[in-house]
Structure 1
Amino acid sequence: MNHSSDLISGAATAATGTQTTSPEPPPRRRLSRPERERSIVEGAVKFFAEVGFDGDTRELTRRLNVTQSLLFKYFPNKASLVERVYQEVYVGRWNSYWEEIVADRRTSLQERLVRLYTDYAKTALTWDWVRLFMFSGLRGEAINQRYLGFLRSRILEPVAIELRAELGLPGPDRVPLNIQEIELVWGINARIFYFGQRRWIFNVPLESSVEELVQLTIEHFIAGANVLVPRIVQAQIDAAPAHAD
């Protein structure tokens, strides 16, 4: 080995007084209050989706690199933080366009439902959406009940009404919706959500695209509903007490 070149290089460095040092990192920018709150909420969504709602806030603050006192400055308790997670994921990601699709009678109901659930799946089949929903149900949080009640009034009951209209059946003003009709529509959502469970809970990949699976799901629903819904509505009409003229 030739040590002379190393010695010369070292002597030159000593003579010039230059040293190779890493540049100092830029100072961290102080976050504004809205930015800090947004950072906490985004971190809480990821944290609870990973570990569940039993996750400890101390561990959350450690991951966020903030103090507990700072966390509680924005959210006075864990319940308020969980409520914000619900608002962020389930209310904040709701798209009113889905309701418009259901009501648009310029196309068949089957076409509308394919459009609706293809777009809805982009939101409802994400990692955090599916896992938070499952953890909420297991822990008994109110997230599930509140969201499902919201879903029923905004999508399921309107779909049941549109199905009657497409089949030429009496509207709910003449014959109230039957719980069996709504349960049929629940079946669409249950199947769509199962695709998310397979991917994010069971770690079983889907063997077809979500678009193809939605198409099959809706075709299956329409085929069955065309037979069952007229029977359900007629049974309700037959069971209604006769009115005297």
Structure 2
Amino acid sequence: MDIATERDGDAGTRRRLPPQERREQIVNEAVRFFAEVGLEGNTRQLAKRLGVTQSLLFKYFATKEELLEAVYEKVYLGRLSSDWPDRLTDRSVPLRTRLLAFYTEYSRLIFEHDWMRIFMFSGLAGAALNHRYLEHLGDVILEPVLAETAAVASGTRQPSMEDIWNLHGGIVYIGIRTHIYGLPAPEHPEEVIASAIDKYLAYFGVSEI
């Protein structure tokens, strides 16, 4: 069945899909496609998988780059909650509680096959969308975490952006080892995340509970 039509109930007839619904189907399949074959996969292969002509694909996305932009929006930006920056900087809540809430929610969104594989493929390819995502993540999530850690740190150690990336990268690696390396996932990933956060905060003398 091509993506332009679908079966309508028991009658076995086909109805033409609205353009927005058809576009969404293309994007969803493109996510699965690029996660499987990498960003070098071409639009001819994708069109064949979708059961449509390449010209129909270009009706919705004029270039492969435009399609990758839609994948970027779907896989990356679509998984960042708009209220995370406010919640991360709410000092009425202990920093440990804020970090644990964020990374618990974030890990549930990214610890899955398509996100991890597209992230790794785009990183290996030096793709701009990967760089843009990391830059955006740094601006809206990691910079606030740095400021919040500095505000409660005690002693001579002061956090740097490198420290924040080490925390973040260590948590993301939980998903990488499962979906990229095929190793078993931790039985209780939330406990691994909590342990990483506790070690991070302890390093800077943060004793909040």
TM-score (norm: length of structure 1): 0.75
Which whole-Å CA distance do the structure 2 matches of 1:96 and 1:193 have between them? 20
Q: Structure 2 counterpart of 1:200, which letter? A: H
CA apart distance, 1:207: 2.9
Which whole-Å CA distance do the structure 2 matches of 1:141 and 1:214 have between them? 28
Match of 1:158 in 2: 144
Higher relative contact order (CA 8 A, sep 6+): 2
CA apart distance, 1:168: 6.5
CA contact (8 A) 2:30 2:71 kept: yes
Match status 1:71 vs 2:50: no
Equivalent pairs counted in the alignment come to 195
Over 6 Å off, 4+ runs: none
Match of 2:4 in 1: none
Percent identity over the alignment is 45
**Equivalent residue runs for 1:185-204 within 5 Å:** 185-204=164-183
Match status 1:209 vs 2:188: yes
Instruction: Give CA-to-partner distance per residue, 1:221-243, whole Å, 9 cap, x none.
Output: 1111328xxxxxxxxxxxxxxxx
CA contact (8 A) 1:133 1:143 kept: no
Match of 1:91 in 2: 77
Match status 1:148 vs 2:134: yes
Higher Rg: 1
Aligned pair partner of 1:116 in 102, 112, 122: 102
Which whole-Å CA distance do the structure 2 matches of 1:150 and 1:37 have between them? 26
Which whole-Å CA distance do the structure 1 matches of 2:93 and 2:79 have between them? 26
Runs of at least 5 residues in structure 2 that lack an aligned partner in the other structure: 1-9
Which whole-Å CA distance do the structure 1 matches of 2:82 and 2:171 have between them? 19
Which whole-Å CA distance do the structure 1 matches of 2:81 and 2:160 have between them? 24
CA contact (8 A) 2:154 2:205 kept: no
CA apart distance, 1:25: 6.6
**Alignment root-mean-square deviation, CA:** 1.8
Q: Structure 1 counterpart of 2:112, which letter? A: T
Instruction: Give CA-to-partner distance per residue, 1:56-107, whole Å, 9 cap, x none.
Output: 2111111111110000011111111111100111112210222122111112
Match of 2:43 in 1: 57
Match of 2:7 in 1: none
TM-score (norm: length of structure 2): 0.88
